[in-house]
Amino acid sequence: MMRSSPAEELKRNLTGVVGGSITLPDPLLEFGFFLDKLNNVAMVKDGKLEILEEKYKNKLHWNKDSGLFTLTDVQKNESGVYKMDSKRGLILSFSYSVTVYDPAPTPAVETLNVSSDSCWLLCSVDKLTALLWYRDEEIQNQNSSALSLPITVYKQDRDSSYRCVAANPAENKTLHVNLTTSCGFNTTESVEYNRLIKHWNVITFPIKVAAFMVLTAVVVRRRDLYSTNPTT
């Protein structure tokens, strides 16, 4: 097993959403410091957290049991580099590049055109973001930065699940599409059709068997008559 040297710094990239929280993944259970860039803003000692910078009084929290720090109500201007230094036992330094993003926009879907066998849908958002169209678990269309993204849905795929996803590196928001409402496709139509076919086969099967038996009897009867009175 390899161990980090005292001079080694472990670096991690973390993301968050405005107004949300970010928990640093590495514990500090004994003695050490939490730093904003190069400034000591908090210290853990004897199982207690001491906040050294006033602006972190209600923002930085430390869980005594897990040893994890959490930044709450994060804002975009708080993006930057944070550090955590352990000063007891194995000395380690953890560096976190934190990026805070606006929340992902909520997608909306409108129907642009409907034909007898297809439907054209448009997914839209109010600010540039990554947009993706999924059919079941497969991406059908995508754009890394867009305000809208179209897709054509074919009636033969009406039993599939369609959804539009608006995403950024910190989160994503998903809108599932009801094809019955958006396209007029009846997702149960194929199921109902198969049920009716099976029902019809159950009803007509005895009739088909009876007709086959009558036809067989006629053929046998004619063969017997032919054998008894052959023509010359």
Q: What is the pLDDT of residue 6?
A: 46
Q: What is the pLDDT of residue 86?
A: 83
Evaluate if residue 232 carries a pLDDT over 70: no
- Asked, colleague to colleague, whether 9-101 and 108-183 share their fold, the answer is yes
Residue with tokens 């540039």: 128
Write out the two tokens for 96.
Answer: 């976190």
Q: List the domain boundaries for the chain.
A: 9-101, 108-183, 188-232
More confident position, 122 or 220:
122
Report CA 135 to chain centroid distance, whole Å.
Answer: 12
Amino acid in position 68: L
- Give the bridge partners for 94, in sequence order: 10, 84
**What backbone torsions phi and psi does residue 49 show, to the nearest 5 degrees?**
-100, 130
**What backbone torsions phi and psi does residue 85 show, to the nearest 5 degrees?**
-115, 125
- Per residue in 79-136, pLDDT (tens digit) is 999 999 887 666 678 999 999 999 999 999 999 999 989 999 999 999 999 999 999 9
Exposure on the CB side of residue 160, measured as CA atoms within 13 A: 15
pTM for the model stands at 0.69
- Per residue in 38-57, pLDDT (tens digit) is 789 999 998 899 999 999 99
Q: What is the pLDDT of residue 7?
A: 46
Please provide the CATH number assigned to the domain covering 9-101. 2.60.40.10
Write out the two tokens for 106.
Answer: 């909520």
- Per residue in 10-37, pLDDT (tens digit) is 889 999 999 999 999 999 988 999 999 7
User: Is the domain 108-183 a CATH 2.60.40.10 member?
Assistant: yes
- Per residue in 131-157, pLDDT (tens digit) is 999 999 999 999 999 999 999 999 999
DSSP string, 4-17: --TT-EEEEEEEEE
Q: What is the pLDDT of residue 206?
A: 64
Q: What is the pLDDT of residue 92?
A: 76
Helix, strand counts (H, E) of the chain: 2, 14
Question: Of the candidates 10, 99, 85, which has an alpha carbon nearest to the alpha carbon of residue 42?
Answer: 85
More confident position, 232 or 65:
65
Residue 34 burial class via C-beta count within 10 angstroms: exposed 0-12, middle 13-18, buried 19 and up: buried
Q: What is the pLDDT of residue 194?
A: 46
Evaluate if residue 226 carries a pLDDT over 60: no
Report CA 180 to chain centroid distance, whole Å.
Answer: 22
- Per residue in 156-209, pLDDT (tens digit) is 998 999 999 999 999 999 999 999 989 988 745 444 444 544 555 555 556 665
